[in-house]
Amino acid sequence: MRILTTLGSLIVVSLPLLGTAVPAHAANTARSDQDCAQLLERWATDPKAAPKSVIDACKEQLAAIAPAAGPVDAPAERARTASLDPCSGPDAGDSVLCWGPWASLAPAAPAPMVTLNLPDVSIECDLLADQCVPSLILVESILPVASCTPGTPCGFATIVSGFSSTGEAEDTEFGSFRLAADGTDFSVAPKTGDLSGGDIDSLTMTTIVTPRPDGYNNMRSRGDQGDVISRLIARIEQDDDSEILLAADIWTHGTVANPQSGYFAWGNATSQAGLDTLNAGNVSVNYSGAMSVDNATIGAMTVNFGSNPNWTGAWTNPDYSFGAGGTLSGVNMISQPGQFTSNVIGTGNFVQGALVGEPGGAHGITHIIDVTLEGQGRIKDVGLLRDVVASSVIEP
């Protein structure tokens, strides 16, 4: 199978043409030509003599009889109109009494060309099947951390200085996280950095995997080279070939003098086929789990798949709770500012996530949150949520 990916630069949306503009003065009472002439003469000295709609109607009425009277010398006519119309002169633009130096209504504007700066369009084509599947990839600039592509590794991490993995929110940065399928190395790319040239690349590590009572396995990965160390302590879910499907928790890398650490949540982004299945089924899927930085916080999200997929979520801690909602584009989730609960204050709040794993298998959401809560301050966290309730079809 050969996949061609074409990146488009813009989605252009055209608004419906306003082809049937209704005259604002359609209901005006008809006046005689003489009344109109007198009105225009009064208006020449007093722009408030009559409503503009009435003046315009008289202008049109008198103009309509002018052609019948024979050809009109255009420059002379313009001069005559200017002498009558105080809003037609060269100083009309400076008058607070005039709308503008136009002698008549401007024609209706054509439909604007609205350009959305949101998406690139990626079209994957299966030449053998003669099918092309468009997928929307959110432009990096609108997502706090790099977006994820269906079917590829995808993760998020917090980054702090030191070994503790935990720090003040203001000192905590976000980044993309990549993990080798066997757990022997990882990369962390701060912000929207490119993973292939990630700023933090672990050493090659050895791994020890032991079972946990909660269905995950526990993996400890360790690498040492000179004074550089790399460590992972992670919950993982593996396939039959021991390849890691989902992982979360602690990463550490650096030297004693310059260490960095944090928490992460990682998986393989849901494939396009998996997304298509979920969207075609119009299913609503619930996800839940403890966050990694503060695991007293339980995240619960519901994704409503379909033609216009969206999500809602709530994060509950013994000390606070808040909610958010947003859109789903491909595998990428981003909150909408208007969908936060009222205790989320200030600007710059966001929840970003990605669907990982395949429906029916190890399936979940990796996500990060950065919110300022009334009475609590700023909170940054990262978490892996698992699907917890059987999918249900959304009633139309």
| Residues near 33 by beta carbon (within 8 Å), at least 6 away in sequence | 61, 62, 65
Please tell me the distance from the alpha carbon of residue 28 to that of residue 30, in angstroms, as a whole number. Answer: 6
Please tell me the distance from the alpha carbon of residue 344 to that of residue 152, in angstroms, as a whole number. Answer: 32
Supply the minimum distance, in Å, between the C-beta of residue 303 and another protein: 22
Q: Which is nearer to another protein, 152 or 255 (CB)?
A: 255
Supply the minimum distance, in Å, between the C-beta of residue 385 and another protein: 12
List % helix, strand, coil for the chain (3-state, nearest 5).
15, 45, 40
Q: Which is nearer to another protein, 91 or 168 (CB)?
A: 168
Tell me if residue 90 falls in helix, strand or coil.
coil
Supply the minimum distance, in Å, between the C-beta of residue 154 and another protein: 19
Tell me if residue 322 falls in helix, strand or coil.
strand
Q: Which is nearer to another protein, 234 or 362 (CB)?
A: 234
Please tell me the distance from the alpha carbon of residue 386 to that of residue 382, in angstroms, as a whole number. Answer: 14
Tokens of 278: 């979920």
Supply the minimum distance, in Å, between the C-beta of residue 375 and another protein: 21
The angle at the Cα of 351, spanning 348 to 356, to the nearest 5 degrees, equals 150
The angle at the Cα of 149, spanning 143 to 151, to the nearest 5 degrees, equals 150
With CA atoms as reference, report the closest residue to 237 among 361, 381, 148: 361
Supply the minimum distance, in Å, between the C-beta of residue 145 and another protein: 20
Q: Which is nearer to another protein, 59 or 235 (CB)?
A: 235
Q: Which is nearer to another protein, 318 or 396 (CB)?
A: 318
Supply the minimum distance, in Å, between the C-beta of residue 228 and another protein: 11
Q: Which is nearer to another protein, 124 or 249 (CB)?
A: 249
Q: Which is nearer to another protein, 7 or 257 (CB)?
A: 257
Helix (H) or strand (E) holding 260: strand 259-268
Helix (H) or strand (E) holding 315: strand 310-317
Q: Give me the helices (H) in the chain, please.
A: 33-45, 52-65, 74-84, 272-280
| Whether 105 contacts 56, CB under 8 Å | yes
Tell me if residue 151 falls in helix, strand or coil.
coil
Instruction: Please give the residue ranges that form the binding site for another protein (CB under 8 A).
Output: 160-168, 171, 208, 210, 212-214, 218, 220, 222, 224, 229, 231, 233-235, 248-250, 252, 256-257, 259, 261, 289-292, 295
Please tell me the distance from the alpha carbon of residue 61 to that of residue 44, in angstroms, as a whole number. Answer: 17
| Whether 328 contacts 303, CB under 8 Å | yes
Supply the minimum distance, in Å, between the C-beta of residue 343 and another protein: 24
Q: Which is nearer to another protein, 261 or 304 (CB)?
A: 261
Supply the minimum distance, in Å, between the C-beta of residue 334 and another protein: 24
Q: Which is nearer to another protein, 83 or 164 (CB)?
A: 164
Supply the minimum distance, in Å, between the C-beta of residue 153 and another protein: 20
